[in-house]
Amino acid sequence: MKKVKDFLWKPCMTVEECVDRFSSLGYQSTELNEAVKVILKMKHSNAKIFLTFTSNMVTSGLRGFFAQLCQLKIPHILVTTSGSIEEDIMKSLGEEFSFSNFYADDTQLHEKGENRVGNLVIRNESYMKFEDLIQTYLRKIYKKQKRISSSELLYEIGLMIKDENSILYQATQNKIPIYCPGIADSSFGFQLFMFQQKHPNFIVDTIQDMQRITTDLSFDEKKGLISLGGSISKHYAVFAALLSGGFDYAVYLTTSHPTSGSMSGATTQEAKSWGKIKDDGEAATVNGDVTITFPLIMCSVLDKIKKQGFI
């Protein structure tokens, strides 16, 4: 039986060394170390890797890290929510989000035209600049194509973005499809609605993406999932994999709990009851703030696979 070992600091300890020592520490640190091992197995088995995340993570400083992972060709498929798209575009324009705090005077923020996301703030001006730009993008896309899937739409937008820290830019450059099944649920969705009022024959077809994502997967290939948070982005990926035999590997990073019966809190064990993860699939779940757990996990993974020649 494995024994608990004391965690001891050493000068100039790397992230990789720190996370390696988590394996004998206990509680969520042990799960975090297990998540590293599962992701490494995804890479070693040449699995097709899904990365799913929600928009609040793009609000944070993780946005550039997601783009960097695309540049390094770590994920093969992205699934996210519509807010991620608009905020990625805002930041590609040079818009900066600010810090507030979790206990701010929200009435005062509203009067100043500032919108709070946890302890971060997005200004109304950022949305105004986004709305002006996205209408320009849509007009250009409309000239090329009247009916388009959500993933094709995001690919076309990615071609027009020049910011290397943009998720859309890097996904487009590296031929990584972005699926956004809830594309209508945001300011971006409202801008699509407004554009369609003037151009009724412009159709964004989300069902077309369901055909693409399911036919892109096969029963024979290995499949892995790195799911940050929950929501529609998580379910879209696990349902797609279900139709081709389920995931071989899965890592869930979440702050939710299974007691509510929500998708965000659903465990990897629960997923096995549906066939979303294979009976013998290898999985880890880490409970905690993704802005802490995900960089630790992925920096450790990247250090290891760089030594192994994967990047």
Q: Catalytic site residues?
A: 276
| Cα(284)–Cα(275) distance, integer angstroms | 16
> Dihedral sign, CA of 234, 235, 240, 246?
positive
Cα gap 130→186, rounded to integer Å? 12
Report d(CA 184, CA 193) in Å as an integer.
8
Give the CA angle between residues 52, 53, 59 to the nearest 5°: 155
Tokens linked to 203: 């159709």
Per-residue tokens: 167: 């998720």
The bridge status of strand 98-99 relative to strand 120-123 is antiparallel
Please identify which residue in the block is written with the tokens 């409970």.
287
